[in-house]
């Protein structure tokens, strides 16, 4: 039997499944080949539908199996002026993670991005010339819709290279370039895993380095790292500064900081350890120009959620340094402040703005300078232990000034020259009346400000120089060395005494000291003080003496001691004055007459009575007054006290020299404050001209006084008296006794002695007194007789009045 014939196998390509698979594969290949093109055109179409005017994508690489996508040479722009270009974008996506709703970027690289970011004049931001879309309106159903489960996101490796952002704002033009930025190990489903980042940027060629770790998805998001910025030009912020009235802002900023930031209950908390420096800083606001070579901070600056409404949340602990600082007023041509260096050590800013500073040092501080003229300069100032409670209490332990030099020059109108120029330039502005009311109301709502200063010390290498051009000739005084110590200042301790200790040497010869204890902050002032002035040369003070008393000081030195007490605003002081070789000369007639009237004699005559045999005058001047009285003027009080003390001293001296006839002098002085100094008059028996023994002894005393005081003169005034008329008439009647009675035409008895006889009698007595004094060695040129008259003759006694 013949074997059955076998059917030959069908060729593989003829099989149906093969043909179908081949077609499917071909279609897949075609689809995969055309997909990048389709994606390219679809992306262009979608972007154009979003309002982007111009879209360019040179090439798209896609691998669905590996999850790789690549774009090259991308360019987009909107209807604005900006655009964006991208050299290359590469994305490697974990496909399997998509099934778990996780977007896991295994690798993301961005290279050569050029991006324009612009803010228009209306405040609208445009990125690549594209304005942001208008937010869509949310419907009620969308609001009530339960949100879908969010996708997770992760980045294994992110790399940005050569990214340039051109930022354009009305107030800022800047270029930011990211040379390289790396981010790794970031995953939202691993919130405790620390992601690492590192960036190298340039802001207008200023290098910026940033590196660190972050945990943005943790329950408490945290960011930590280090930032370094150098040579950032401040001119970038010039337009922002101009809005605040600041012009010509220039300089460079450098920052080096290590930071840690957390989000606590929705509030940021930032801790930094920083070194910040501003160099070559210059700015101008109005007429004021400020320059600083360097301003630097080193230490911690933290921000914490505020503890209360008074707390700003800012905390700081570190040091501050300022070098070569200058503040000038260009309108006045004044240099207001010049400082070589300021160092602030251990400055701590705590809760509620509580501030403490361990030490502040000023090196070569100068205030108010114009050309060679300078108001104040210090070689060094040291301030120790400053504390402020953030509200109403400032306390300082110690302030020491070394090498203080003050040069105060008064102009012809009596104003400090540099200060008046500053005021004229508008530096001191009148406060708006409305603001004064607000300030007063606010003051009523808070406790009074308290200031404490344990000690202020001006070291003895200091100098005070004073020149007064308002008088002629100008007065000039140089106090060197000068030292001052003020201790225990506390505006709230009303019963605590503040101590003052002052020492100085004036013009290299005159010494001045003052020790005082006072309580100045109560309702009334209390003070106890003692002071001394030694060997003060008086002629330079002559213009002031002329203004006060109408006398020029021609010669002399002053030694003086002061004891003063003020209790409840009541001043009680005594000034002990010792004048050596003192000589004066009349100046302003109106003033020296008024002063002499208070003395009851010319001042030069009064002083001549007070000089001892060495030409020295000692005088105690008691000064009293109510300093709270609005009419109280210390210069007028002292002037009046000086006149009274001089008069009292003269009266006491004369009373002593003319004993036992001085009692009458004191009584007369107490009854009268005007006229010349009246000595006890010489009494005569009515109708007689002869001097009795007692009157001659009295003239001996007067002659001795005038010999000891050759500068004084004596006025001798005979007095017409009705008692003399009666005595002369009685003598005439006795001489005519025994004669017949007079006829009816005989005049009355009181007319028998005429007035001229009385005036002649008074003149004879005065001449008799003058003759007696001449015989005792007194020059006739120092003795002046008066022309008698009949005024008050009915009440006058027979006598000769004596006036110095």
Q: What is the pLDDT of residues 485-527, one digit of tens each?
A: 999 999 999 889 999 999 999 988 889 999 999 999 988 889 9
Residue 356: its H or E element: strand 355-370
The DSSP output letter for 78 is: -
Q: What is the DSSP letter of 220?
A: S
* Residues 6+ positions from 116 with CB-CB distance below 8 Å: 81, 82, 83, 84, 126, 127, 128, 129, 166, 168
Residue 402 is predicted with a pLDDT of 96
DSSP assignment of 375-439: EEEEEEEEEEEEEE-SSSEEEEEEEEEES-EEEEEE-TTSSBHHHHHHHHTT-SPPPPHHHHHHH
Cα separation of 96 and 106, whole Å?
12
State how far Cα 562 lies from the chain centre.
Answer: 32
What is the per-residue pLDDT for 33?
A: 53
- pLDDT of amino acid 249: 92
CA-wise closest residue to 615 among 584, 640, 656, 587: 584
CATH 3.40.50.720 fits 677-734+749-804, yes or no: no
Which strands sit side by side in the sheet containing 714-718, from one edge to the other? 678-683, 799-803, 714-718, 783-785
H/E segment holding residue 228: strand 222-233
pLDDT tens-digit map of 627-637: 887 776 666 66
Provide the 3-class DSSP secondary structure of residue 287: coil
8-state DSSP, 170: T
CA contacts within 13 A on the Cβ side of 201: 21
Write down the pLDDT at residue 673: 42
Task: List the Cα angle 411/417/418 in 5-degree steps.
Answer: 175
Specify the DSSP class assigned to residue 473: S
Q: Assess contact for 692 and 674: CB atoms under 8 A.
A: no
> What tokens were used for 86?
């991208």
Rounded to the nearest 10°, the torsion over CA 597, 602, 603, 609 is -120
Can you give the pLDDT at residue 676? 62
Strands (E), 234-354: 246-264, 267-285, 288-303, 314-329, 334-349
Q: What's the pLDDT score for residue 675?
A: 45
442-447-449 Cα angle (round to 5): 95
What residue ranges do the domains of the chain occupy? Answer: 15-129+151-200, 523-651, 677-734+749-804
Residue 347: predicted pLDDT:
94
Tell me how far CA of residue 547 lies from CA of 473, 550, 553, 578, in angstroms: 13, 6, 12, 22
Query: Is the omega angle on the peptide bond into residue 473 within 30 degrees of 0, that is, cis?
Result: yes
Which residues of the chain carry a pLDDT beneath 70?
1-53, 55, 64-65, 78-82, 132-148, 426-446, 596-601, 632-639, 641-642, 645, 647, 649, 651, 653, 655-657, 659-676, 736-751
Rounded CA separation 461/459 (Å): 6
Residue-level pLDDT at 88: 86
Backbone angles phi, psi at 233, to 5 degrees: -70, 130
| φ/ψ (deg, to 5) at 498 | -95, 130
Structure tokens at 139: 């419907």
> Contact at 8 Å (CB) between 95 and 141?
no
């Amino acid at each position: 039997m013949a074997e059955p014939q076998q059917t030959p196998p069908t060729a593989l390509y003829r099989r149906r499944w093969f043909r179908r698979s081949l077609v499917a594969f071909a279609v897949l290949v075609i689809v995969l080949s055309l997909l990048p093109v389709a994606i390219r055109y679809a992306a262009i179409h979608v972007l154009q539908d979003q309002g982007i005017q111009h879209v360019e994508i040179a090439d798209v690489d896609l691998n669905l199996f590996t999850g790789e996508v690549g774009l090259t040479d991308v360019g987009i722009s909107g209807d604005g002026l900006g655009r964006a270009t991208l050299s290359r974008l590469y994305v490697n996506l974990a496909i399997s993670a998509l099934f778990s709703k996780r977007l896991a970027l295994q690798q993301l690289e961005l290279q050569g991005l050029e991006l324009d970011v612009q803010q228009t004049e209306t405040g609208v931001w445009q990125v690549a010339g594209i304005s942001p879309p208008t937010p869509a309106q949310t419907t009620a159903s969308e609001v009530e819709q339960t949100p879908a489960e969010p996708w997770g996101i992760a980045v294994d490796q992110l790399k940005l290279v050569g990214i340039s952002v051109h930022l354009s704002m009305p107030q800022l033009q800047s270029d930011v370039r990211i040379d390289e930025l790396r981010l790794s190990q970031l995953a939202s489903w691993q919130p405790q895993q620390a992601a690492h980042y590192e960036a190298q940027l340039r802001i207008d060629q200023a290098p910026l380095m940033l590196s660190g770790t972050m945990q943005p998805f943790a329950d408490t998001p945290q960011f930590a790292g280090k930032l370094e910025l150098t040579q950032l030009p401040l001119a970038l912020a010039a337009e922002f500064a101009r809005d605040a009235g600041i012009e010509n802002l220039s300089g460079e900023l450098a920052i080096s900081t290590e930071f840690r930031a957390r989000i606590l209950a929705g509030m940021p908390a930032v801790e930094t350890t920083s070194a910040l420096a501003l160099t070559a800083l210059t700015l101008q606001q109005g007429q004021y120009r400020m320059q600083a070579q360097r301003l630097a901070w080193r230490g911690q600056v933290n921000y914490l959620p505020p503890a209360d409404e008074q707390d700003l949340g800012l905390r700081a602990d570190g040091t501050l340094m300022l070098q070569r600082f200058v503040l000038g007023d260009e309108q006045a041509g004044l240099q207001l402040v010049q400082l070589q260096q300021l160092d602030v050590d251990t400055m701590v800013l705590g809760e509620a703005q509580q501030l403490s500073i361990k030490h502040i040092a000023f090196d070569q501080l100068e205030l108010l300078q114009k050309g060679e003229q300078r108001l104040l300069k210090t070689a060094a100032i040291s301030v120790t232990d400053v504390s402020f409670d953030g509200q109403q209490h400032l306390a300082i332990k110690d302030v020491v000034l070394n090498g203080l030099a003050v040069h105060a020059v008064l102009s012809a109108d009596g104003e400090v020259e540099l200060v008046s120029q500053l005021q004229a330039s508008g530096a001191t502005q009148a406060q708006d009346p409305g603001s004064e009311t607000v300030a007063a109301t606010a003051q009523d709502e808070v406790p009074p400000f308290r200031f404490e200063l344990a000690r202020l010390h001006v070291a003895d290498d200091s100098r005070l120089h004073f020149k007064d051009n308002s008088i002629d000739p100008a007065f000039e005084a140089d106090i060197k060395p000068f030292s001052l110590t003020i201790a225990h200042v506390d505006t709230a301790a009303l019963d605590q005494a503040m101590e003052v200790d002052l020492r100085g040497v004036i013009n290299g010869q005159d010494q001045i000291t003052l020790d005082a204890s006072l309580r100045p902050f109560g309702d009334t002032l209390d003070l106890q003080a003692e002071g001394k002035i030694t060997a003060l040369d008086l002629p330079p003070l002559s213009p002031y003496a002329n203004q006060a008393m109408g006398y020029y000081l021609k010669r002399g030195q002053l030694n003086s001691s002061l004891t003063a007490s003020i209790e409840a605003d009541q001043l009680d002081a005594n000034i002990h004055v010792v004048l050596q070789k003192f000589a004066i000369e009349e100046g302003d007639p109106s003033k020296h007459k008024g002063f002499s009237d208070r003395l009851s004699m010319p001042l030069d005559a009064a002083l001549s009575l007070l000089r001892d045999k060495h030409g020295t005058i000692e005088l105690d001047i008691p000064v009293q007054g109510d300093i709270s009285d609005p009419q109280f003027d210390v210069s007028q009080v002292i002037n009046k006290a000086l006149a009274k003390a001089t008069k009292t001293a003269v009266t006491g001296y004369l009373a002593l020299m003319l004993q036992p006839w001085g009692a009458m002098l004191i009584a007369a002085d107490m009854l009268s404050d005007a006229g010349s100094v009246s000595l006890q008059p010489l009494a005569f028996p009515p109708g007689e001209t002869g001097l009795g023994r007692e009157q001659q002894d009295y003239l001996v005393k007067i002659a001795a006084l005038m010999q000891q005081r050759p500068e004084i003169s004596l006025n001798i005034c005979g007095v017409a008296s009705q008692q003399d008329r009666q005595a002369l008439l009685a003598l005439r009647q006795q001489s005519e006794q025994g004669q017949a009675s007079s006829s009816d035409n005989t005049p009355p008895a009181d007319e028998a002695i005429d007035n001229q006889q009385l005036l002649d009698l008074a003149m004879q007595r005065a001449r008799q007194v003058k003759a007696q004094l001449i015989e005792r060695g007194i020059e006739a040129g120092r003795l002046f007789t008066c022309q008698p008259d009949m005024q008050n003759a009915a009440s006058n006694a027979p006598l000769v009045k004596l006036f110095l």
